[in-house]
Amino acid sequence: MAELQLLDIGPLDLDGGSTLPVTLAYRTWGRLNAARDNAVVVCHSLTGDADAATWWAPLIGAGKALDPDRHFIVCANLIGSCYGSTGPVSPRPDSGRAWQADFPDISVRDNVRAQQRLLRELGVARVELTIGGSLGGMLALEWAVLDPTVRRVVLVATSHAHSAWCIAWSEAQRQAITADPDWQGGFYAPDRPPAAGLAAARMMAMLSYRNPASFEERFGRTLQPAQPGIVTAPLENGEAKPLFAVQSYLHHQGSKLVERFDANSYIRLTRMANTHDVGAGRGGAEKVLASLEQDVLVVGITTDVLFPLAEQRTLARLLPKGTLRVLDSPHGHDAFLLEADRLEHLIRRWLGEPRPAAAHSTSSFSCAST
């Protein structure tokens, strides 16, 4: 496993108007070549971290789409997260106490500018590829806008701007967190976080990451014994009622996130995603996307209810050198992680293909049979 490293990149002027001293946590795989132009930037999603070789293992390795024998692969933890980069759990320079709810709002562009500083410090002269899924795809796209020398871009299950639908899901999740009595205005005790609220937020999120058909196929109306820690109505004999399997699954997912993630970070990062709009302040998305000269692979998922395939079709259409590929999967939005082996095959094929003779292609390719 690549070692987690920390780099102080100094004060960063944020889009919101404040200045934040930033440390980035990052990992690298492979080596920078003599021309310093073989860098690949992998951007993680909402609650992800810098260890891309773990959560996207099928994509990274010898002979794979992202090959450390050929590429210098870099993945940095997002500002605002809780996995090493500066965020709400970090100490404030003026007091030494954690920022918590005082942590400033950050944007996708803020994060990309920070990553650009990181790559300069690492000696990178030119980025070969930026790649990411979901929130990570927003960063990969913003990289292409802020650095026209980026050669190629892969955008998976993402869009050029966060939709009203996505914003609504995020707001409902934030309200669940802030309604928890332990929220305390965002200044909660480290040993008493708003666990119930964060767990409920994660349960909501899981509904948007999958889809009705996948839940029906996996869980149906199957019942199972009540699990410890899950409150259910008692039966007449005083024993807990059985749970539907899907209830147990959601409670498990909520508990897992509570164990590893910070509620203030969750709120800041969902706000960051909500503000994503590649055309904001630049004359609109059509103008910005039409100006991009990079070869861009846009991957949509047939059953994604959070970022519907129509959004990727639009994105690919607006890009002069955009190519759409479709991942046919029953798993919804999370297919970009759950079916990473098939995604890797799709990406590797695209990387080996010459750019289409036409200025832009939106042909779709299903890798369902692989």
pLDDT at 362: 41
pLDDT at 368: 33
* Cβ atoms within 10 Å, residue 16: 12
pLDDT at 366: 35
Average pLDDT, the chain: 93
Q: Which domains does the chain have, with CATH numbers?
A: 5-162+275-352 (3.40.50.1820), 167-272 (1.10.1740.110)
pLDDT at 49: 98
Q: Average pLDDT, stretch 13-27?
A: 98
Query: Residue 89's pLDDT band (boundaries 50, 70, 90)?
Result: very high
Q: Are 44 and 130 in contact (CB under 8 A)?
A: no
Instruction: Give tens-digit pLDDT for 349-366.
Output: 999 965 544 444 444 333
pLDDT at 364: 38
Q: In the chain, at which residue ranges do the beta strands (DSSP E only) sit?
A: 5-13, 19-29, 39-43, 72-76, 127-133, 152-156, 223-224, 243-244, 295-301, 322-327
Instruction: Give tens-digit pLDDT for 43-74.
Output: 999 999 999 999 999 999 999 999 999 999 99
Instruction: Give tens-digit pLDDT for 304-353.
Output: 999 999 999 999 999 999 999 999 999 999 999 999 999 999 999 999 96
Question: Rounded to whole angstroms, what are the CA distances from 165 to 172, 294, 309, 311?
Answer: 11, 29, 14, 12
In angstroms, rounded to a whole number, what is the distance separating the alpha carbons of residues 150 and 129? 6
pLDDT at 233: 59
The answer, yes or no, to whether residue 241 has pLDDT greater than 60, is yes
The answer, yes or no, to whether residue 124 has pLDDT greater than 90, is yes
Rg, Å, the chain Cα set = 21
Instruction: Give tens-digit pLDDT for 205-232.
Output: 999 999 999 999 999 999 988 777 776 6
Place of tokens 């500002």: 79
Query: Residue 1's pLDDT band (boundaries 50, 70, 90)?
Result: low
pLDDT at 240: 75
The answer, yes or no, to whether residue 139 has pLDDT greater than 70, is yes
Residues belonging to the active site: 134, 304, 333
pLDDT at 232: 64
The answer, yes or no, to whether residue 244 has pLDDT greater than 60, is yes
